[in-house]
Structure 1
Amino acid sequence: MDIVNQLVANGQFRVLKVPLGFIKALQWFFAIFAFSTCGSYSGMFKMSVECKNRTDSDLSIEVEFEYPFRLHQVYFDAPTCKGGNPERVFLVGDYSSSAEFFVTIGVFAFLYSMAALSVYVFALDKYRENNKGPLIDFGVTCVFTFMWLVSSAAWAKGLSDVKTATDPDEVLTMIDACDVEGNRCREVHDPVMSGLNTSVAFGFLNLILWGGNLWFVFKETGIIAPFMRPPPAQEKQPAPESFGQQAGYEQDPYAGSQGGYQPDYSQQQGGYNQEPDYTQQGAPTSFSNQM
């Protein structure tokens, strides 16, 4: 507990709050459900064979089967309705390959998710060093995404075949006594397949999680960083000046001390009363001199 408290105090578990660590934790969690619901399954169905001769009847025939669904090795004894030893009947089909493949991918995905979470929490800086960690993580995530797609699709098809092979109505057709008129064969209890249906659902859910995590792991590689740089900042253009400043009217040459235009009419009126001064240097003094 002291180590956990110290890690929490140092913020080591902060990575679980970001998509990279949070989705990896979900992958670890859902991988457990995927392989456990399939690998731990065991089912059973019941049938009854009622013969004309009641003493030869068997009204409770139980057939049990389990993972890895090698149904061709599962058998039961059914009455022949003719007296003597019962008939041994085997189920049909071997679906272990798709089931074991699905469980194997789930187990390895669980182990890798746990290892990746440990690296995120305890050695995140070393994980990002030299960009090797994100590249390896991205490659492995791509592989597991493809494996979840293949294994989930294969197991979905295998489960469909398992349901057909363990359908009591289909199994009754393999009993010879059920083909004889007067004998009555019927199903008593169907196998419960809800756990196997859940395993397929978790398989495709893991496919979505691993596929969605590709983007967040890819961003850690830094490959896309040069394409996500912001455009260079443009120089800020000066704000447009007012119309008066653009036209060259920054200063009003006619403005008075009070800021308004105040023409001086006294000088203009006084100028009309004065006679022209011809006494300037070099100008003629009188008209007679000019003659």
Structure 2
Amino acid sequence: MDTVQKLVSGFSLDLGPVKEPLGFIRVLEWVFTIFAFATTGGYFGTTHFKVKCPESKPIMDVKPEFGYPFRLSDHPYMFPTCDGGAGNKTYLQGDFSSSAEFFVCVGVFGFLYCTATLILYLGYQNVYRQTNRGPIGDLVVTAIFAFLWLVSSSAWGKGLTDVKWATSPEHLVEACKDVCTAGEYPSMGRLNASVIFGFLNLILWTGNCWFIYKETPFHKDPIPPAAMEEGGPPGP
């Protein structure tokens, strides 16, 4: 209880850091991180092909459904038969959940870290700058997230390419070319945007490392202001 009271009493809202690159870029990271995992995690799509039996029967539409986390073998659909039966249960092929879940996981943890650091920047700026541990720790974690965005975005970009191939109507009708024709392709614009947001996060988190680095003791001015006032710049 005492710790909670100290945290509440020590909170002092100051929007000044948001006007500086350090806080402003963190807000952008917060927003783009939400876009990255939200456009992937909530995806649901439908692919489409048509079945035309040799007899004079109506064309039958088949619309297999799939979605996050893209374990396509978990999404069965009924493949119609020309003999008038109930159809055969068929499954999409492929498991691309590892790259998709890794990408979403990085996004969720990045969102949580952005939220925590924004609270620290805006409410406990004195604590953040009181010692060198705050900026140094922030720099290390931000650099780790920049690397994770690189890896996860690259992996999910490759995974998305595989998902597109596995759910392509032209790929699905290869096994039944005699009676099947490709239909409408699934809408992938949302997933394409997720990859773009992933690489935008890579740029933001990598660029922010420089501004956090300037808050650490590792960043030193080449010529201290006091030396400039006393003797001016050093001679050749």
TM range (shorter): 0.7 to 0.9
Structure 1 position 78 matched with structure 2 position 79: yes
Supply the AA of the counterpart residue of 1:198: A
Residue 38 of structure 1: which of 31, 37, 40 is its match? 40
Report the CA distance shift for 1:218/1:189 in structure 2 as closer, same or farther (over 3 A).
same
* Counterpart check, 1:234 vs 2:231: yes
- The amino acid of 2:181's aligned partner reads R
**What is the one-letter code of the residue matched to 1:234?**
G
CA RMSD in angstroms comes to 2.0
1:121 equivalent in alignment to 2:116? no
Q: What is the deviation of 1:173?
A: 1.4
1:15 aligns with 17
Which residue matches 2:61? 60
- Paired residues of 1:105 and 1:148 also in contact (CA < 8 A): yes
Which residue of 196, 200, 222 maps to 2:195?
A: 200
Shift of 1:20: 0.4
Larger deviation: 44-53 or 26-35?
A: 44-53
Query: What one-letter code is carried by the residue in structure 2 that aligns with 1:14?
Result: G
Q: Distance in 1 between the 2:197 and 2:150 partners?
A: 12
Deviation at 1:38, TM superposition (A): 0.5
Q: Which residue of 2 aligns with 1:190?
A: 185
- Whole-Å Cα distance in 2 between the matches of residues 205 and 79 of structure 1? 44
* Cα 1:166–1:73 shift into 2, 3 Å: same
TM-score (norm 1): 0.71
Alignment partner, residue 50 of structure 2: 48
Structure 2: 5+ residue stretches without partners: 1-11
| Further displaced range: 212-221 or 79-88 | 79-88
2:175 is paired with a residue whose SS is: coil
**Deviation of the 1:54 alpha carbon:** 3.2
Unaligned runs of 5+ residues in structure 1 are 1-9, 236-291
Distance 1:156 1:12 in 2: 39
List, as ranges, runs of 4+ consecutive aligned residues in structure 1 with deviation greater than 6 Å. none
Match of 1:189, SS? Answer: coil
Offset at residue 84 of structure 1 (A): 3.8
CA distance in structure 1 between the partners assigned to 2:147 and 2:222 by the alignment: 27
Structure with larger RCO (C-alpha < 8 A, sep 6+)? 2
Larger Rg: 1
CA distance in 2, matches of 1:164, 1:54: 32
* 1:126-181 superposed Cα distances (whole Å, 9 cap, x missing partner): 10112110011001001100000000000000000000000001001134xx34xx
User: Which amino acid is 2:217 matched to?
Assistant: G
Tell me if structure 1 keeps the 8 A contact 2:48–2:63: yes
Secondary structure in 1 aligned to 2:208? helix
* 1:149-160 pair list within 5 angstroms: 149-160=150-161
Shift of the alpha carbon at 1:66?
0.6
* Map 1:173-184 → 2, pairs under 5 A: 173-175=174-176, 178-179=177-178, 183=179
Q: Please, which of 213, 216, 237 is the counterpart of residue 211 of structure 2?
A: 216
- Deviation for aligned residue 1:120: 0.4
Paired amino acid for 1:197: N
Contact residue 149 and residue 201 of structure 2 kept, 8 A: yes
- Which AA in structure 2 matches 1:145? A
Tell me, what secondary structure is at the counterpart of 2:81?
coil
Q: C-alpha distance in 1, partners of 2:142/2:25?
A: 12
The structural deviation recorded for 1:186 is 1.5
Question: What letter is aligned with 1:41?
Answer: Y
Equivalent residue pairs, number: 220
